Chains A and B, each alone.
Chain A
Amino acid sequence: MKTTNNIVPGQGVPSPLPENVAGRIGLKQLFLGFLKIGLLGFGGLAPVAHHVIVEDRAWLTEQEYASLLGLGQILPGGNIINLAVIMGDRFQGIWGSLTALAALMAMPLVILMALALLYERFAGLAVVRTAIGGSAAVAAGLVIGTAAKILWKLRLSWIGLLFAALAFAAVGLLQLSLVPVIVVLAPLSVGVAYTRRRS
């Protein structure tokens, strides 16, 4: 690919952010900001992350946020987790990454433990089993609905739809192992996208 001019090897910590912004945000601010994102991130982190980082704290402009999130999205792992790692590093180096990551996970893990202990304590009750069974049915529907919504909004080309269908069939219907499926499909799909973009 003739795009290497866009990948600049790190000299120190490269930063696309204005100097004044990068220096001003300390570990404490990073911690509090990502603590808030984790705590308020019910039903998905993306909306609250955007609110805190762009609107509330004005750490990044819309464009900077979009480009960092874009990078977080093409990397494996949670998008906002990746965003926390990269933003933390841009602001405060490796300690910034660790701080943002720890802050992001702290409250959700505490709340999760509380829910898990309640579940363990009361799972024997018919009311609790029914309630959780009901929310499990909802959760399945939420995932299906989300996928359908993304699919609808993307307006994929036929080749994109083909790759989506192949991934769905291989993992969902044939229940093949995920790693080989991705190792085969991902380079093919990116290669096709690259070829189509050039032509």
Chain B
Amino acid sequence: MKNHVLWQIALTFASLSLVAMGGANAVVPEIHRQIVGAHGWMNDATFSQLFAIAQAAPGPNILLASLIGWRIAGMAGLAVATLAMIVPSSVLAFTVGRLVNRLADAPWISVTKAGLVPIAVGLIMAGGLVMARAAVHSLFSLAITVGAAIFVLCSDRNPLWALAGGTIISLLGLWGGVVK
């Protein structure tokens, strides 16, 4: 039965690897749809908590997949999810990297980018909406989400500052009796 779960994890993330335009944040809605919705492997609260932990760690944001794999099936799940997310797209990158030689003056790259970037941005925004739906339960947490969005918009500081600030404000809210 365990193998069955690992197989499902592999299929879920491998199918997303090749459509993750602009990285993992663009596939957050689909990961959520499959993990929380279709498979019912975890609830909204756990999903948003894992997302927060993945954000707090350094490294590529596909670590969200690793963490979800770990939560569902332990170390084996972590290994399978990480590889499933990385291998297909890396094999493609390796192949294309060898086929493409002179990059600097390749107009098709800038045209492809011009076409893909708007979709990637729309998907990342959708990812933010899905995360907010899972993480915002009160006016207090809504204010934190809005505050973090404004922080990113208005400053170029490392987003880790916002993560630290929001966490401290939440704890102050807990001790002040604002949040339960």
Contact = CB atoms under 8 A, between A and B. Distances in A.
Interface in A73-123: 73-82, 85-86, 89-90, 94, 97, 101, 104-105, 107-109, 111-113, 115-116, 119, 123
Given A78-B60, A178-B29, A134 B171 contact: yes
B40 interface: no
Contact of A108 (B30, B57, B125): B57
A104 B2 CA distance: 29
A97 B90 contact: yes
A189 B15 CA distance: 22
B39 interface: no
Interface of B: 15-25, 27-30, 33, 45, 48-49, 51-63, 66-67, 70-71, 78, 82, 85-86, 88-90, 92-94, 96-132, 134-137, 141-142, 144-153, 158-160, 162-163, 165-167, 169-171, 173-174, 179
Contacts of A112: 53-54, 57, 59, 63, 66-67
Contacts of A137: 132, 135-136, 141-142, 144-145, 148, 166, 170
B136 A140 contact: yes
A191 B17 CA distance: 23
B132 A194 contact: no
A139 B29 contact: no
B167 to A, nearest CB: 5
Contacts of A108: 57-60, 63
B61 to A, nearest CB: 7
A143 B174 contact: no
A113 B163 CA distance: 19
Contact of A163 (B99, B109, B122): B122
Contacts of B147: 138, 141
Interface of A: 1, 3, 6-10, 13-14, 16, 38-45, 63-64, 67-68, 70-82, 85-86, 89-90, 94, 97, 101, 104-105, 107-109, 111-113, 115-116, 119, 123, 126-127, 130-152, 154, 156, 160-169, 171-173, 175, 177-179, 182, 185-186, 189-194, 197
A75 B104 contact: no
A56 to B, nearest CB: 17
Contacts of B151: 141-142, 145
12 contacts: A7-B99, A8-B100, A8-B101, A14-B98, A38-B58, A77-B62, A81-B86, A97-B94, A112-B54, A143-B127, A145-B149, A179-B15
Given A14-B101, A133-B49, A190-B112, A105 B86 contact: yes
Contacts of B160: 42-43
B151 to A, nearest CB: 7
A70 B20 CA distance: 15
Given A77-B23, A171-B29, A178-B29, A141 B132 contact: yes
Nearest to A167: B122
B89 A76 contact: yes
B97 A193 contact: no
A134 B167 contact: yes
Given A78-B60, A86-B94, A112-B67, A154 B49 contact: no
B96 A107 contact: no
Given A144-B125, A152-B153, A78 B111 contact: no
A167 B59 contact: no
